[in-house]
Amino acid sequence: MADSSSQSIVINADPARIAEVICDYASYPSWTQAIKVAEVLEEYEDGYPATVGFVIDAGVVQDEYTLHYDYAEDISRIEWHLVKPSKMQKSQDGSYDIVDNGDGTCTVTYTLSVELSIGMLGMFKKKAERAIMDTALKELKKQVEA
């Protein structure tokens, strides 16, 4: 099992707005740098996406993969896992936890665990995970607060 990393950011919005942006996977290519395609493949009865296919191009890292999503009843936690290994990943597990701070802001914590199909030194892998989370949280904040 891969080690996980977590990072948090405070966003000036209510939990519903943050969850709305996170769950609108099909729009990711319009506001994220690395995601070129995001296609909802399957939905739950309530309309939330269950399975989403992604194509990423982050320069030296290019991959196509499918994630399966689960949601907390109150949508305060959104979690996912890799459906099957891809060219670059053996496994991926992640989550967003949204905590209402009671002052019009929320703290969003992104947790990510990736096991790569290619070899990478631990320190470089941790640095890459931190960069991915930092970019994802900053892009999320910018989109939610826009």
In tens digits, the chain (146 residues) has pLDDT values of: 457 889 999 999 999 999 999 999 999 999 999 999 999 999 999 999 999 999 999 777 789 999 999 999 999 999 999 999 999 889 999 999 999 999 999 999 999 998 887 665 455 556 666 677 788 899 999 999 99
**pTM of the prediction?**
0.88
Domain range annotation of the chain: 5-145
Residue 131: Cβ within 10 Å count: 11
Of 3, 35, 33, 13, give the one whose Cα is nearest residue 145.
Answer: 13
What is the torsion angle, in degrees rounded to the nearest 10, for the CA atoms of residue 125, residue 106, residue 19 and residue 140?
-50
Token code pair at residue 82: 């890799």
Which class is 5-145 in CATH? alpha beta
